[in-house]
Amino acid sequence: MITATGERSASFPRWMILAMYGAYPAGLLLLEARDRLPAAVAGLALVTLSFVLAFRLWRSPWWRPGNAPEAELDERERALRNRAYQRAYMILATGALLALTYVQLAFDSDDRLRWWLPASYEEASRLFWGAFLVAITLPAALLAWDRERFG
Amino acid sequence: MDTRLPELRAERGWSQSELAERLGVSRQTVNAIEGGRWDPSLPLAIRIARLFGHPVEAIFLMPPEDQA
């Protein structure tokens, strides 16, 4: 929401961050049960919820320090952004390393069927959009998470 | 760090947004400085001091245990 003074006023509490990142994988698991319509509808609703919350984060005051060009930020916002970028890099790099390790182990395993790997364009696409969601929102989500400290 | 910024701002009748505009920072940054959650850099502290016509040390007060 934009206030009369032009400021973005929508807050983004921690439960929304957890819901944003939790709803997407939970929704995908439910979508797998596509032969059961209620579960599939619930799955689609959860995936939609995840992107709706990402949109709300985009409208929150935390998006600007996490994503605006450096020239538009003051010294405090630059310091917050640098800290958020550092933490986001560590989280994403660790996640990528763990994912690659998993894939390596999956291919090395004799019992390959027990390790899940994307087997179709649709499954790879779901994985991609999940990674996209995390990568694009993480700096702003980290800033919102620490709002008590830096708000 | 303690600050007299809210008091000085009130004397001039400025809102946080007005002060932020004069300093070229965001309102949230003024709010964080006034709340003691952010220590301004030396250049920003000097800009604040010049704006109010006081020395820096009259606006930003070091806690006794930090004073050398």
In sequence order, which residues have a C-beta less than 8 Å from that of residue A7 and are 6 or more positions away?
A61, B27
pLDDT (mean) for A21-49: 87
Task: Provide the 10 A C-beta neighbour count for residue A145.
Answer: 18
Give tens-digit pLDDT for A73-91.
Answer: 999 999 999 999 999 999 9
Radius of gyration of chain A (CA): 18
Taking an 8 Å cut-off on Cβ atoms, the answer to whether A75 and B37 are in contact is no
pLDDT score, position B66: 66
Q: Is B15 on the interface with A (CB under 8 A)?
A: no
A92/A31: higher pLDDT: A92
- ipTM above threshold 0.85: no
* Six-digit token string for B42: 């030396």
- A-chain residues near B27 (CB < 8 A): 7
Phi, psi (deg, nearest 5) at residue A115: -105, 125
Taking an 8 Å cut-off on Cβ atoms, the answer to whether B27 and A7 are in contact is yes
- A-chain residues near B40 (CB < 8 A): 75
Give start and end residues of each alpha helix (H) in chain A.
14-32, 37-58, 63-67, 75-108, 121-145, 147-150
